[in-house]
Structure 1
Amino acid sequence: MKKIVTLAILAAILSGCSNSDIYSGDVYTADQAKQVQQVSYGTVVSVRPVKIQANNTNGKNENIVGSLGGAVLGGVLGNAVGNGSGRVLATATGAIGGAILGDVIQDKTSQASAVELEIKQEKGSNIVIVQKGSAKDFFAGQAVRLVTNGKQISASPRYSNQSR
């Protein structure tokens, strides 16, 4: 019973928690609050579902929690198998396999569902925005409001009560 509880705890740690809400158009960071931002308007040209890899920077996965947790869990499971040199081999194999599996699980759990929006701005140019959300939230031909601070931009549906 202790092993099952330990495995459950390790699995919970392995799955990790990432705050991907910052990638949506509905969440502002503390730095963005009370800052002047520019508003413009446009029309959605196309919508494509994509994923945002939350813990990935510069193409490198710098968070090793998944690999380390998987290695520990795999090693514990491997150690429960066999005797003598067989147990050592099972422990090593479990640790290596667990590390690989843990890395894959971490990559998947740190992805956020997102949309890639191609938007024709009122001034005539087309831009592409990637933000957290669902393709159900936007559709081609939809009027949108664009908010930017010069570095980041987000799109939100433009409702009829929004005046210009």
Structure 2
Amino acid sequence: MKTLIRSAVLGTLVLGTLAGCASSDSAAVYSKSQMRQAQNVDFGTVVSVQPVRMEGRNNELLTMGGAALGGLAGSNVGRGTGAIAGSVAGAMIGGLGAQAAQRNIGGKTALEVTVRLDNGSRMISIVQEADVPLAPGQRVRVLTGGGNDRVVPM
């Protein structure tokens, strides 16, 4: 029975990890839903590029796995109502711990890119993955639309 529980938890963690890797915040990656969607294009010059840390994504499967492991560990505390209370407390602590770990461990290095648009009256800042090289003074295109704004080199 313990082997079955361990296998289920391990499977949940593996699926959760794979699901968490399925998306990107890169300026060079487009999702299927972004295909064939018009975007506005502005031209500008990069004013500054600051490295920032992008928070990891929460994955419900990993959180449930953490709660399950915490509940199993907590059930070994005491007997009777003590074991029940330990299970509940362990599940809560395991779930919260899994969420905190996902935010901290799953994060990536990103860039906060500030651009002065050519119209001169506006400056914008966009945070995106650090996989497209950008530097102050560089000419760029700013693509906006559908909440998926990005800065890309000319």
Q: By the TM > 0.5 criterion, same fold? A: yes
**1:123–1:83 CA distance, 2 compared to 1 (3 A):** closer
User: What amino acid is the match of 2:117?
Assistant: Q
**1:149–1:5 CA distance, 2 compared to 1 (3 A):** closer
Q: Which runs of 5+ in 1 are unaligned?
A: 56-60, 159-164
Indicate the SS of the match to 2:20: coil
**What TM-score, normalized to structure 2?**
0.70
Which residue pairs with 2:117 in the alignment? 121
Q: Could you tell me whether the CA contact under 8 Å between 1:25 and 1:156 is conserved in 2?
A: yes
Post-superposition CA distance 1:26-75 (Å, at most 9, x none): 123444433443333222111122344575xxxxx7x6444432221111
**1:88–1:111 CA distance, 2 compared to 1 (3 A):** same
How many equivalent residue pairs? 149
Alignment RMSD (CA, Å): 3.3
Indicate the SS of the match to 1:76: helix
**What TM-score, normalized to structure 1?**
0.67
Distance 2:101 2:36 in 1: 38
Q: Which of 20, 25, 29 is the matching residue for 2:23?
A: 20
Distance 2:8 2:73 in 1: 11
**1:38–1:93 CA distance, 2 compared to 1 (3 A):** closer
Percent identity reads: 30
Q: Which runs of 5+ in 2 are unaligned?
A: none
Shift of 1:137: 2.0
Q: Which of 125, 132, 136 is the matching residue for 1:140?
A: 136
Which residue pairs with 1:77 in the alignment? 73
